[in-house]
Structure 1
């Protein structure tokens, strides 16, 4: 997105606003003919400003029906992923120690996720630092592919969890910044 100019506007948004309001725009030829655009629908998505994203003009946003999707509460996220993981370890007749570990693994996963989103926000140079619920689902999906015959102790299951966290979240990182120290793994 272009930076805000001295008039407080962004040129691409000004062009889109003209297209929405008047149904077209002027051509780039010398005579600047008006070009009408018909039978077109627009759908847009945006995130909050920050990490290289600028605020969008409220006059432009007012042209849309705005729906806000808030991130679910920690209790909701924990309940969803804990139900999935506990159901898997019980259905596969995993060790009792692994069944007790399932609840703690979901809590740890959420702690790591929150720490990584807080400490490593997306920036123009790190635009791929975008983390969402899909990442938590990938971690859980990796855990539920485990077989009870291969993971007989809670230590082995924790190593699998560490591998999934590394595969999904940490492989995306491009720097060696230590951020993991803010997470308490001793709970």
Structure 2
């Protein structure tokens, strides 16, 4: 039998990502979203984590996870709306892939990558560029965000519906929980 790390590398090389780049138009008004799909055509369980070069502005959901054999999943990439100055420099998302050992299948993916990361990994870089035209107007320097509107006062006590004697509180509290 061959070198296990070479066999693992060959398995990881079979994982398909549908995009290798994104371009977002920055906005002061709204978040920007896009997606890509990861597909695992192998019979191995694959764990992944996704890291960003702009932690508070660019992220993914999920950022950790497991790709089941012969399955795929969509990852949403989110560029959050701007709250201040923006330099427009290109970024990237890095997708790390590793084979999940049988004895770690019940471990949360984030815990797996922190405590038992695989020796053989594949790293895929997804480039992120930004349109130089920015939507919206930046907040004025030194100005604070507008205060939220005050909460509406509770309805007057005499306007509240009366409770019927045969209504049970337990039934109401459990519904929808």
More strand by percentage = 2
Q: TM-score range by the shorter chain?
A: under 0.3
TM-score by length of structure 1 reads 0.22
More helix by percentage = 1
TM-score by length of structure 2 reads 0.23
